[in-house]
């Protein structure tokens, strides 16, 4: 925010249930202020039963430019995008949506890269992912793309970079191969 919130301030929201744990508003609002960007990011606590009404309503707010998505909405929010990135198509989950110049909404998922880099930098390989929510799906796909050689396709992926067993990947991930986004 430059001089407080005005009629020109661009809005962003982080949507989740709960939202007390989110740190993005503090970080991004500090960035906006330092960079002289007239924008604000606010946390919006939305229960799963209210997600559709909330997202559809927020998409009508003309000065709202984007949404960050957190638990438990990363999979469900995909349905409210007009277009999705290859990462969202592959993982079935999104952690961000932005309004395009034509007013449509584009979903993206940028989970995974930093998380895996941190694990691998500290020698955590093989890596076991127990969970298949929005972040788990994307992290597993990132690891697959970097060369992990096996996984378990029953919803809880197992990945390793060490050859120990023949590849067994969830079908969509196998089709994407190692060139997955």
Residues 6+ apart with CB under 8 A from 115: 135, 139, 142
Q: What is the rounded CA–CA span in Å between residue 13 and residue 147? A: 35
Q: Would you say 54 and 69 are in contact if contact means Cβ atoms under 8 Å apart?
A: no
181 domain-assigned:
no
Q: pLDDT tens digit string along 36-84?
A: 999 999 999 999 999 999 999 999 999 999 999 999 999 999 999 999 9
Helix, strand counts (H, E) of the chain: 6, 8
Paired tokens of 159: 């990945």
71, 92, 93, 91: which is closest to 20 by C-alpha?
71
Q: What is the rounded CA–CA span in Å between residue 70 and residue 88? A: 14
Specify the DSSP class assigned to residue 143: H
Domain identity same for 118 and 164 = yes
Domain identity same for 14 and 94 = yes
Q: Choose the final residue of a domain: 108, 134, 152.
A: 108
pTM (predicted TM-score): 0.71
Q: What is the rounded CA–CA span in Å between residue 157 and residue 170? A: 8
80 domain-assigned:
yes
Q: Which of 74, 78, 135, 144 is catalytic?
A: 74
Q: pLDDT class for 108, splitting at 50, 70, 90? A: very high
Q: Is 105 an active-site residue?
A: no
Residues 6+ apart with CB under 8 A from 161: 125, 126, 127, 143, 146, 147, 148, 149
pLDDT averaged over every residue in the chain: 80
Domain identity same for 127 and 170 = yes
Q: What is the rounded CA–CA span in Å between residue 99 and residue 53? A: 17
Q: pLDDT tens digit string along 49-61?
A: 999 999 999 999 9
Segments forming the whole domain that contains residue 36:
10-108
Q: Mean pLDDT: which of 114-118, 121-125, 138-142, 175-179 is highest?
A: 121-125
Domain identity same for 69 and 119 = no
């Amino acid at each position: 925010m430059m001089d407080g919130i005005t009629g020109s301030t661009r809005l962003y929201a982080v949507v989740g249930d709960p939202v007390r744990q989110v740190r993005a508003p503090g970080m991004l609002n500090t960035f906006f202020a330092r960079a002289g960007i007239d924008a604000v990011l606010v946390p919006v606590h939305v229960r799963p039963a209210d997600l559709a009404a909330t997202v559809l309503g927020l998409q009508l707010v003309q000065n709202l430019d984007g949404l960050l998505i957190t638990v438990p909405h990363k999979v469900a929010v995909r349905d409210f995008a007009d277009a999705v990135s290859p990462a969202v198509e592959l993982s079935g989950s999104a952690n961000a949506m932005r309004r395009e110049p034509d007013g449509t909404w584009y979903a993206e998922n940028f989970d995974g890269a930093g998380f895996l880099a941190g694990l691998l930098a500290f020698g955590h390989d093989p890596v076991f992912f127990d969970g298949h929510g929005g972040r788990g799906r994307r992290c597993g796909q990132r690891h697959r793309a970097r060369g992990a050689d096996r996984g378990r396709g029953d919803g809880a992926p197992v990945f390793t970079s060490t050859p120990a067993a023949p590849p067994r990947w969830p079908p969509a991930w196998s089709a994407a191969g190692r060139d997955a986004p």
